[in-house]
Structure 1
Amino acid sequence: MNLDTGKQHFANDPELLSRVLAPYARPKTQYLRSATVEVAGGLASAEGRFSIPFPCYIDDTGHLNSVEVNICFNQLMYYLIAKCVQQQVVAEFDDWTMEDYWAKQLPDILIARFESHFKRPIDSADFSGEVSFAEFRRTNRSRPVQIVEMPWRFWDAAGGHAQGEVRMALVDPPGMTVRADAA
């Protein structure tokens, strides 16, 4: 188990980012342009740059909306988990391989709760965002699930700001087995 408490910084990894965003292959849905990851005290956060020249589902509103926030959160969260698995820098992912991550990215990394607060409109053409791991816990009722509490925030250069928290459910994570009484 990796218990390194020193601070580590990982620069943007275009190859990893491209692979993480591969499920967003539909035109104009790859909003995350670059991302960096910081690891300290057993937790990690990712900061990313985004651009949404044209929304993928509605006429341009001129500002970031809740659907786009959810998509941007997903893209940055997927990158954060992938980088932590790749570098083996967060103990909660020590049992994961990159093959595990690619197999689980879409079917087993789920949003259980999404909370958002929009303070000031954000220019969707150019903005930044951050997602962080705040807390991990495990449940094993009918199947193994790792719960991850993840605060997030997005902002732009003109003072636009939104923030919230997401509860992620990582279903059947590597290293967790089904309880005998749940089978």
Structure 2
Amino acid sequence: MEYPNDEELLEQVLQVYKPHCRYLTSTVVTAKGDPADEGGLVRVRGEFHIPESCYIDDTGHFNAVEFNICFNQMIYFIMAKALKERLIGAFDHWSMDDYWTRQLPDMFIVDFRSTFRRHMRGRRFWGELDIVDVIQRDGGNGPLMILGTTCRYGEDEAVACHGKVRLALKNPRTPADAA
């Protein structure tokens, strides 16, 4: 199943960023099963525009900080879209209000790996992020949802850099848990 650019949702997701740091400009989401099931994945392909670095003089290349900011923008969007379209079963008990309340304080990168294989200017480029795994477990301080992701970026068809990132989300209890 494919979902074209959702401008309204993207604008809402990026509201947490300062205007000059809203790099993700358009998206297409593809769902091929639930990532909690073997072989399932939800993918976002995004177009990015970084007119200038938000934190340093121009380095002349896409770097790890920009990689992370772009990853964050894609993961925030794909989670909101997956919730809105009901693409991931683990989000079934979340409302959109739950998502907006939890977007910043309850989502944590717990493992971040990036690899740069070739130079990329990084002003206009594409990125893809796949949610490939969803695990729910008790985190000691309450339930957690662990998302396994892969991502990649490039300016032409070739991938210039890629990574694997795991996130932990504080997971509100389901109504069945409260009973």
Q: How many residues align?
A: 171
Equivalent residue number for residue 24 of structure 2:
32
Residue 64 of structure 2, aligned match among 57, 63, 66: 66
Asked if 1 retains the 8 angstrom alpha-carbon contact of 2:152 and 2:159, the reply is no
Equivalent residue number for residue 3 of structure 1:
none
Equivalent residue number for residue 56 of structure 1:
54
Identity %: 39
Q: TM-score, normalised by structure 2?
A: 0.90
**Distance apart, 1:162 and its partner CA:** 0.4
Asked if 2 retains the 8 angstrom alpha-carbon contact of 1:48 and 1:76, the reply is yes
Q: Note if 1:11 corresponds to 2:4.
A: yes
CA separation of 1:50/1:171 partners in 2, compared to 1, >3 Å: closer, same or farther? same
CA distance in 2, matches of 1:174, 1:76: 25
Equivalent residue number for residue 148 of structure 1:
147
Structure 1 unaligned spans of 5+: 1-7
Q: TM-score, normalised by structure 1?
A: 0.88
Letter matched to residue 7 of structure 2: P
CA distance in 2, matches of 1:142, 1:52: 38
Structure 2 unaligned spans of 5+: 35-40
Q: Which moved more, 1:86-95 or 1:152-161?
A: 152-161
Letter matched to residue 147 of structure 1: I
Asked if 2 retains the 8 angstrom alpha-carbon contact of 1:143 and 1:178, the reply is no
Equivalent residue number for residue 123 of structure 2:
125
**Structure 1 residue ranges (4+ consecutive) displaced by more than 4 angstroms after TM superposition:** 176-179
**Distance apart, 1:48 and its partner CA:** 0.2
- SS where residue 2 of structure 2 aligns? strand
What value does the CA root-mean-square deviation take over the aligned residues?
A: 1.8
